[in-house]
Amino acid sequence: MIKKYFITGTDTNIGKTFVSRILLQKANKSGYLTAGYKPVASGSYNKKYGFKNKDAIILQKNSSVLLSYQEVNPFCFYENAPPHILSSLYGKKIKKKYLSLGLRKISQKSNWILIEGAGGWYTPLSYFNTFSEWVQKEKLIVILIVGIKIGCINHAILTEKAILLDKIICAGWIANILVPTEKYKIEYINTLKKYIKSPLLGIVPHIPNNHNINIDNINIILP
């Protein structure tokens, strides 16, 4: 049986890719044939990789099966802006059937797939449909990443409520410590444990950019 998880977050820039990297590494260590899938990405130029999204590159590098960049990231936009706006401006429609086709191709190679969304739960793919509708169509199980910072409690509660109202299974949530100096980070997490129905899968400590990750030191329950 193929396990397929959709990673969403309470906001943009809250560490979805960073946590996805950890989850992929843990799944690799557990013996799964893993694949990361970033069907839609914007902000895709950087000096190191050229016209490729750096988050998609991270997913590709941490997958245990060999995937081309195109397989990992079929819809790639140059600018860093909401994908539905760029899609409309440049006449490149993000069609759900192509997202599904890409997922089916990856499913032929792997048995543990991590699909990373863009932004939050209701990020639009067009002016008429959102990413969440595609998740519903594919019956994916969601993992919610909560960036621990001021405002995260409201965002997390609203996001989980929206996921459950859409009749989607939420495997759980992961707390990602964004600001090491945040005075009340433990209180934030304890509050969310009271309000969020889905289980807490783990807490990711703050790790500065470019530091090596020792996944054995990060206690996350692999769903």
Q: Is 10 within 8 Å of 172 (Cβ atoms)?
A: no
For residue 223, tell me if it sits in a domain.
no
CATH, residue 192: 3.40.50.300
Q: In which residue are the tokens 């906001």 written?
A: 11
For residue 206, tell me if it sits in a domain.
yes
DSSP tag of 199 = P
pLDDT of residue 165 exceeding 80: yes
For residue 115, tell me if it sits in a domain.
yes
Instruction: Output the pLDDT for position 216.
Output: 83
Q: How many residues does the chain have?
A: 223
174-211 pLDDT per residue, tens:
999 998 888 999 999 999 999 999 999 999 998 877 56
For residue 91, tell me if it sits in a domain.
yes
Q: In which residue are the tokens 């557990």 written?
A: 30
Q: Which of 3-12, 39-48, 149-158 has the lowest mean pLDDT?
A: 39-48
Q: What is the pTM of this model?
A: 0.94
| Residue range of the domain that includes 132 | 3-217
Q: Is 130 within 8 Å of 124 (Cβ atoms)?
A: yes
Copy the structure tokens of residue 110: 């792997």
Q: Which residues contact 140 (CB under 8 A, 6 or more apart)?
A: 4, 5, 6, 115, 168
Catalytic positions are 38
CA distance 165 to 141: 14
pLDDT, mean over the chain = 93
For residue 222, tell me if it sits in a domain.
no
Domains contained in the chain, number: 1
